[in-house]
Amino acid sequence: MPLALEPISLLHGWVPVTIQVIAAAVLVVAIGWRSRRWRLLWVPVSLLLGVAVAFAVWWLLDWSGVAGHPAPPTLWIWIALSALAGAVLVVGWRDNRWWRRTVSVLAVPMCVLCAALAVDLWTGYVPTVQTGWDQLTGRPLPGQTDEASVAAMREHGDKPLQGTIVSVTIPDDASHFSHRGEFVYLPPAWYASNPPPRLPVVMMITTEFGTAQDWLRVGDAKKTVDDFAAHHGGNAPVLVFVDSTGAFSNDTECVNGVRGNAADHLTKDVVPYVSSHFGTSADPANWGIVGVSVGGTCAVTLAVKYPELFSGFVDIDGDLFPNVGFKEQTIPRLFGGDADAFASFDPSEVMAKHGPYTGVAGWFAVSGNFPTVYHDGTVGAGDPGPVPYTADKDTGANYLCALASRYGIECSVVGVPGHHTWQFAATVFADALPWLAAKLHTPGVPQTPLPGAPAAPHGGAGGN
């Protein structure tokens, strides 16, 4: 596909508008004027069916808990119109002219395409035509190479100007978690010596209904960290882009449960593999986690549950606790009905059981115009009150940060204008990277305080 297609946006501009206008016109022609019985009976019946289907899909999404934020109204409109188009095709097929049958057939996929565009607008998952083509064809990631080439470059002392992406197959010996391919980003500084310097590592966790490539293809992570490295003499953390779900529709919430031992994969497979295979630091002071949506929930959950492995996290629009619906739905769906297993991955419960932390800090980002709130991690200070157990991201993040601070975790809740999309996630990662890289002791990176913190970091967790 020609590179000229790359700037063609699927989220705004003329393409989505044009497709919707064409789809609406095709649907109007498919419906037509026809007979009086058609207008007074079958069109209203078809419309009612469309509304019923849209309501059923809304109920199913709400019941299943797969969406933590409301969908745009256009999604429900186009789902209803898709069902309407299907009904018009079926009930209007008999005794109809060939051209109207053709238009009726065309109206169905056109309306479904518009519903898909509404989903894309909701998530930002396919921002451009080029991105969609790359995902569909499995085109290599920008800067992707193989381990043999990486080894040869390091042996010959070839330090690239930008980082490289390496596809890895991480064994699942400890977790037995069936997972897909994963990726490692190596900054230019990794090539500076042989063996490589023991750089810090950031685990990058994606959303539900995603792949390990999402942060690279859609979240602009490589450009963000390349730009950062360029301003710090080639220094940046190593990034490992993990598969926490094992399949596109398998929401594990990064826990060990009936959907697989995802937590064990990330902590017992990924961490030791990256440290040994790429010579990175194994010190928890040099390991952090960044996640968006479900991945944000994973970031805070793993950080507080495994402080012996991680010391910094960035939770981007995550939830209050690992969930696939309400708590009463989550316990059977994720943990087979074991409430104790749920509690062992509930950040609130985990922090209370662990007690005061040392050296852990976090950045909670929420989409929306919310004020920044900073907590210095003074043990025992403040009382966040009862657990809200709400789907509201701002309320949940503020509660978790206040509670975390009470247990010695310095943190900030940062409101960022925007919506729960990949473009929002990319902005947050770029904003948070200087702090996180400093927190993980990346060489050549000066201390950077959390948003809202005093200029000079203080407290047990510190800015670095």
- The angle, 0 to 180 degrees and rounded to 10, between the axes of the packed helices 14-31 and 73-91 is 30
Strand partners for 166 = 145, 184
Q: Is residue 66 domain-shared with residue 187, that is, in the same domain? A: no
Q: Is residue 235 domain-shared with residue 294, that is, in the same domain? A: yes
Residue ranges making up the domain that contains 114: 3-131
Q: Is residue 323 domain-shared with residue 354, that is, in the same domain? A: yes
Question: Whole-model pTM?
Answer: 0.82
Q: What is the pLDDT of residue 138?
A: 63
Peptide bond into 195 cis (omega under 30): yes
Question: Is residue 161, in this structure, part of any structural domain at all?
Answer: yes
Question: Is residue 180, in this structure, part of any structural domain at all?
Answer: yes
Question: Is residue 37, in this structure, part of any structural domain at all?
Answer: yes
Q: Is residue 71 domain-shared with residue 147, that is, in the same domain? A: no
Question: Is residue 156, in this structure, part of any structural domain at all?
Answer: yes
Q: What is the pLDDT of residue 463?
A: 44
Strand partners for 312 = 288, 361
Q: Is residue 32 domain-shared with residue 67, that is, in the same domain? A: yes
Q: Is residue 177 domain-shared with residue 105, that is, in the same domain? A: no
User: What's the start-to-end Cα distance of the chain, in Å?
Assistant: 45
Q: Is residue 296 domain-shared with residue 321, that is, in the same domain? A: yes
**Residue 325 is part of a domain; what is its CATH number?**
3.40.50.1820
Question: Is residue 444, in this structure, part of any structural domain at all?
Answer: no
C-alpha to C-alpha distance for 274 and 399, rounded to whole angstroms: 33
Q: Which one-letter amino acid corresponds to residue 433? A: L
DSSP character at residue 16: H
Q: Is residue 124 domain-shared with residue 48, that is, in the same domain? A: yes
Q: Is residue 323 domain-shared with residue 262, that is, in the same domain? A: yes
Residue pair 174/264 in contact by the 8 Å Cβ criterion: yes
| Residue burial 144-154, b: 16+ Cβ < 10 Å; e: rest | bbeeeebeebb
Question: Is residue 136, in this structure, part of any structural domain at all?
Answer: no
Contacts of 322 (CB under 8 A, 6+ apart): 253, 254, 255, 297, 298, 301, 330, 334, 342, 345, 346
Question: Is residue 449, in this structure, part of any structural domain at all?
Answer: no
Domain termination site, one of 90, 108, 131? 131
Question: Is residue 464, in this structure, part of any structural domain at all?
Answer: no
Q: Is residue 245 domain-shared with residue 335, that is, in the same domain? A: yes
Residue in 277, 250, 259, 260 with CA at minimum distance from that of residue 169: 277
Q: What is the pLDDT of residue 329?
A: 87
The sign of the CA dihedral 174, 180, 185, 190 is positive
Each residue's pLDDT tens digit in the chain (464 positions)?
333 444 677 767 788 889 999 999 999 999 988 888 888 898 899 999 999 999 998 888 776 666 656 778 888 898 999 999 999 999 888 878 888 899 999 999 999 999 988 887 776 666 677 767 666 666 677 778 877 778 778 777 778 889 999 999 999 999 999 999 899 999 999 998 888 999 999 999 998 878 888 899 888 899 999 999 999 999 999 999 999 998 877 889 999 999 999 999 999 999 999 999 999 999 999 999 999 999 999 999 999 999 999 999 999 999 999 988 888 889 999 999 999 999 999 999 999 999 999 999 999 999 999 999 999 999 988 788 888 866 677 889 999 999 999 999 999 999 999 888 888 999 999 999 999 999 999 999 999 999 999 876 444 444 44
Q: What is the pLDDT of residue 2?
A: 39
Q: What is the pLDDT of residue 421?
A: 85
DSSP character at residue 257: E
* Domain tally, the chain: 2
Q: Is residue 161 domain-shared with residue 92, that is, in the same domain? A: no
Domain termination site, one of 98, 131, 164? 131
Q: Is residue 191 domain-shared with residue 243, that is, in the same domain? A: yes
Q: What is the pLDDT of residue 359?
A: 96
C-alpha to C-alpha distance for 349 and 342, rounded to whole angstroms: 9
Domain termination site, one of 131, 159, 176? 131
